[in-house]
Amino acid sequence: MLELFAAVDLRGGRAVRLAQGAAERATDYGDPRAWAERWASEGADWLHLIDLDAAFGEGHHRDLVAAIARSVPCPVQVGGGVRGEADAEALWAAGVRRVVLGTAALERPELVAWAVRTAGPEAVAVALDARGLRLATRGWRAETDAQLLDVAPRFVDLGVRTLVYTDIERDGMLVGPNLLLAERLADTSGADVVVAGGIASATDVAAVAEVARRQRRVRGVVLGRALYDGRLELTALRAWRDAIAPAS
């Protein structure tokens, strides 16, 4: 069954959406806790919180994350600026179900191994944020030479079971997801893949679900701007997903 992840990006205490990760192209949507509670009440399987301040090295929203995790019935995963053991432990202690490691996973793979040993593979994911096949780090501001399909299996070897794949060039642009690379990533890595970036409509979600029927390791989809702009209705989307689940 395809899992629905509702995104809440945190910046300066507000819920925002960025276009292609650019801080200067942010849209402010207001109170993040209100949005988180709404998405949870409308049927999100997960909340996908990204602390942009932490990702950009400009503080963090740990207290807000803890408040959200306490107030919603669905599990919460959090990424952005998780640089070390203390960051991960603080998030788990705050009630976060899964910590998403991004920059630190590439720069300190031993942190990934530690996290899996400490909290178990269900409590850890690795974010693979790419322009084409090249991975980006530090809030997508730094390009690397690391290649998406080469790097992913290394994290699986460390015990990771979940990868969050974002096509940066599609993120916030409402142009549809990169299904080809998402499926290739699942094929190559053997990990469960959550697809992010570009989802604009129920048709896009249906396309991800079709890939998931073919490649069972495509397990989830992150819904962002399309929710906030009213292009997707989460209650209806969940009802549709549940209706097709027996055939998936």
Using an 8 Å Cβ cutoff, are 6 and 47 in contact?
yes
Task: Indicate if 53 belongs to the active site.
Answer: no
Interacting residues of 168 by C-beta distance below 8 A, sequence separation 6+: 20, 21, 129, 130, 131, 136, 140, 197
Among 53, 87, 129, 192, the one annotated catalytic = 129
Among 9, 87, 167, 204, the one annotated catalytic = 9
Using an 8 Å Cβ cutoff, are 8 and 36 in contact?
yes
Tell me how far apart the alpha carbons of residues 165 and 207 are, in angstroms, rounded to a whole number.
16
Task: Indicate if 9 belongs to the active site.
Answer: yes
Catalytically active residues are: 9, 129
